[in-house]
Every structure is written in structure tokens, then in C-alpha cells.
Amino acid sequence: MDTKTFKRTLQQSDNYHRKGFGHQEQVTATLNQEYQSNLIQNIRQNNYQITRENVTIRLAEAFGFCWGVERAVAMAYETRTHFPQEKIWITNEIIHNPSVNQRLKEMNVDFIPFKEGKKDFSVVNSNEVVILPAFGASVGEMQLLNDKNCTIVDTTCPWVSKVWNSVEKHKKRSYTSIIHGKYQHEETVATSSFANIYLVVLNMEEAKYVSNYILNGGDRTEFLTKFKNAYSEGFNPDTDLERVGIANQTTMLKSETEAIGKLFEQTMMKKYNPTQLNEHFMSFNTICDATQERQDAMLNLVKEKLDLIVVIGGFNSSNTTHLQEISGEYNIPSYHIDSGDRIFVLDNKIEHKPLETDLEIKNNWLGEGEITIGVTSGASTPDKVVEDVIEKIFATKKLIN
């Protein structure tokens, strides 16, 4: 399928919308009321710090809603304003934040249900309105909705679209797209749908395995088993790794994406000689600015003298998880929560999610005496949620002092 032509044709359709519906002023007022916080604004103006009694909160200097997230949420609100009576669907969570997605459900925006592990688009009728989330949607999903003559509201983040353009360039020159990401993540699913041949690598460990296979060969069956579900149909590591282009899920760790790109560049130079590098390797800068800014701010935050860090964001939010990983690298106790509801003030308990494990309860998580707490949040977290967490921290400490 010529995905580039399909996308261009779709964008020219009268049923396709990507720029909102002219209700920006009304929607902005609503979003500010529901998601902004005077407390957080005051903390920002106070050098990102607030102290009450013996508790000091240090905010990262970049956190919370990014431009792409604000845009997607605003377009979803605009869609409901513009189509007050129509049936509206969304193909996935608009962003990875439970409070925002719950708010959309309250506005009668329905989510495509899963049936036997797959999205059930049979519930969508012709001419209904369907929102594509900030992570994007696969080519197959867009084609299905277009065939149903649905009104499509595309909130895909422009940074995600930038990655798609890179993958299109790989495909045009018959390069295999090596995508740094999580193969089951909706953004990577969408990105890989624009590729002809692709392989998804999760981390540097997997990238090194692929690099070694390129240089030295290996067990083809073992390779395909190791990367099951993470490559295109008919993928053959013995022939499809001769020409590779690098792409990424925009919410992955910037440093790791860059390191993986450099690894494959060096691998191809070693395999084919530096003079032939351009015939075997392609790379474009597709690291999201917002993701990079929040990671850089976290790296600055962990250098301060902190007793612990609270990371706020959806548990399925990749960019939030990577912020927590940074605190772990600096051996600072961290607690990943998705809302203030995870803090039990009267009991001095917190329900949090450690990396790669299930939710657990930490008793007596705030001790007596002076304490300095670092706070950051993922790009899908409203300031109101951060405010709620901070207020509950203060309330808990007040009871135990």
C-alpha cells in the first residue's frame, strides 16, 4: 500500500479535520478551569520551590502538559463542542492520563472497545465522528474509518508525524526501519504501519544483539523468537538488515535513542566500510522536544539534595516511566503515582508502581522532621493533578510531625 498517497488523499477529504473547529476561546477557558493550577503557577514563579513548615517541594523546571498534549485535548473538547449531539468515538486514550480520559467519557466520548485482544471497530457506524489520539492511529485504522465515511478528527502530535515522515523516507530507499520503542505501544504500532520492513528494539541490550547479528550472523530462528511480534511480516534478519534507518517512539529516553543510533551507524561502518555508510544507514533527529526538556529537567533535579522523588503520570505513560528510571539511576527513592488518590493522608501510606512491577503499598512513606521532595510529572499530567499531590504531601506531614 502507498501509505504516503493514502495519507495525502485522506488529508484532502472534507471528512478529515486537523486544525480544530474555531471554538478555541471557549475551549481554552474550559481547559484552564479544569486543568490549570494557581498553586503550581505560584511555585513556578518562586524558582520552582515551595516550603511549608518542615517540608520543601522542588519542582522540575519542565514538567506536565506539553504542547502536543494540550493540542490533542483541546481538539477533543472542540470536537464535542462542534458536534454536540453526534456520536463520537476515540480510537484509544487521547493521552495517557486517567483523569483526562475519564473527563472525555463524562462528555460522552466513547472509546473503541477491545474484543478478544483487538479493537472492535464494528461498533462504529457510517458518518459517525472518530477522534485519533495524540499517539496517532495505524494506517489500517485510518483506512477503515475512511471507508466507513466517518468524520475523522486527527489530534496526532506533529512530532509523531515527523517520525512517520522519516519512516516513509526509509521505505522509499528500501531501508528497514529500526524503531526504538515498545512494539505494543500505540504510537509504535502507528509508526510501524507506515513502514514496509521494520524491527522494533526496546533498549540498548536488544540493539546490541541486532548489531552483533549484522556483524557476525547468528541463529535466525533464535532471532525471530527473541523479537516475536516486533517485526514486519516475513522479516528475514539475514537479508533485511543490510540497509537500516533509525526511527523512535517519541517518548523514549533521548540518551538511549541517540546511543542506539550511534551504535548502528558504527555497525554499518564496520560492516561495509565508512565510504559506503550512506548506502546502508539513515538517521534523522526525531526526538521530541518536550520529552527531551522533561528528561533534561529531571537530570537537573536529581542532582539536588533530595530525600525522595514523586513522579506523577499514567502508569502506561512511557515518558513518565522514563522520568522514574532517571531517579533510579541516581539511587533516589521514587514513587510513581497517577494521581493524588494514591496518597492516603490519615495512614501515611502511598500506593505506587515501582519499575516493571505491580502496584504496591508503602507504609510510613513520609518520615518525621525536615524533608525535601522532588516532584515531576509526565507530559500528559495536568497541573491540577500535581497540585493535588503536593497538597496531600503537606497534609500528611502535618499529621505526623
Residues marked active site are found at 187
Which grid coordinates are listed for 129?
Answer: 465522528
Which grid coordinates are listed for 326?
Answer: 532517571
**How many CB atoms within 10 Å of residue 2?**
9
Burial of 298 from C-beta contacts in 10 A (0-12 / 13-18 / 19+): buried
Per-residue CA distances from 36 to 98, 155, 319, 386 (Å)? 16, 21, 21, 10
391's CB contacts (< 8 A; 6+ apart) are 39, 340
The CA-based angle 248-178-4, given to 5 degrees, is 75
Whether 362 and 335 have beta carbons less than 8 Å apart is answered as: yes
CA 189 to chain centre: 12
Alpha-helix runs per DSSP H in 60-157 = 67-82, 98-106, 139-147
β-pairing verdict for 308-312 and 334-337: parallel
Whether 32 and 271 have beta carbons less than 8 Å apart is answered as: no
